[in-house]
A and B are shown apart, each in its own frame.
Chain A
Amino acid sequence: MNLKQYAMIKAATNVISGLSMITLIALGVSYLSFKNAFVFQDINIEITNNPITQEKDIEFAMIGSKKFECNSTKVYGVAYAEDGSHSHKLDSFTKQYIRNTRPGEAIPNSWSMEVPFDLHEGGRYRVSMTGEFVCNYLIFTQHKSQTFDNILLIVDPRNK
């Protein structure tokens, strides 16, 4: 190998190494940014039919925007009594939500959930809604979870 060829190979490996380093740094930063981002931004969830009267379901309304492509895999709520004495799991949907809203814009979503049988005595509750998602961005896939707390729920006493 003559000196010119050696210089050429050295320069080429320099360029390839630099490009590889830039690629690694860009992928690393993108991955960290994706991993640490929340699923929903500017999110608001409310119960629209408080107080929940006889035979009615709990109606939720939500608005929020997503940065990435995320598909929900599991959604459930927990209603905590305001006095902290007990809680009820809400996981029976009577009306489903839109599972895969498009990213980038605020899209309203809504769903209804059955009032659990053991909540017949009624009362004031604070609901935490939790969603589990699978999100995709570029070449990355990540499981994410996000909880929205403190949604006021008022249930009127029900006939047994």
Chain B
Amino acid sequence: MYMNDLDKSKLITTQVDRWDLYARLTPTVFLVTCVLLIVYGVIDFETAFYVGVGMFAVTAVVWWWWAIFTIRHLVILLNRASKNLVEVAGEVKEVSREIEQLKNES
């Protein structure tokens, strides 16, 4: 599905908000859950440790690829914006020259 730059930017903003929420909640939720499970003897510390390491690894990999694709998109967006800005500047110059020319003729 094709997305224009504005939609894509909105999507990135939403994703950033989700990452923010994830970073805010996950450590505390994980810590409290593990403490309860260990206290009630459901799991031992070693299991909690390896689950934590696994979650940390998955988060790191997902975040890494998300960051790469997001940066790529932002660089493309920045290049396109710069190019468009240069074109607009050129057109403004041309319009100014034409207006100047019209003034001189009249």
Contact = CB atoms under 8 A, between A and B. Distances in A.
A17 B52 contact: no
A24 B31 contact: yes
Nearest to B28: A20
Contacts of A148: none
B99 interface: no
A31 B28 contact: no
A24 B27 CA distance: 8
B25 interface: yes
Given A24-B52, A28-B52, A17 B27 contact: yes
Contact of A17 (B24, B45, B46): B24
A50 interface: no
Q: Which of B24, B25, B26 has the most CB of A within 10 A?
A: B24
Interface in B23-46: 23-28, 30-31, 38, 45-46
Interface of A: 10, 13-14, 16-17, 20-21, 23-24, 28, 31, 139-141
Given A16-B28, A17-B24, 10 more contacts: A13-B24, A14-B24, A17-B23, A17-B26, A23-B31, A24-B27, A24-B31, A24-B52, A31-B45, A139-B45
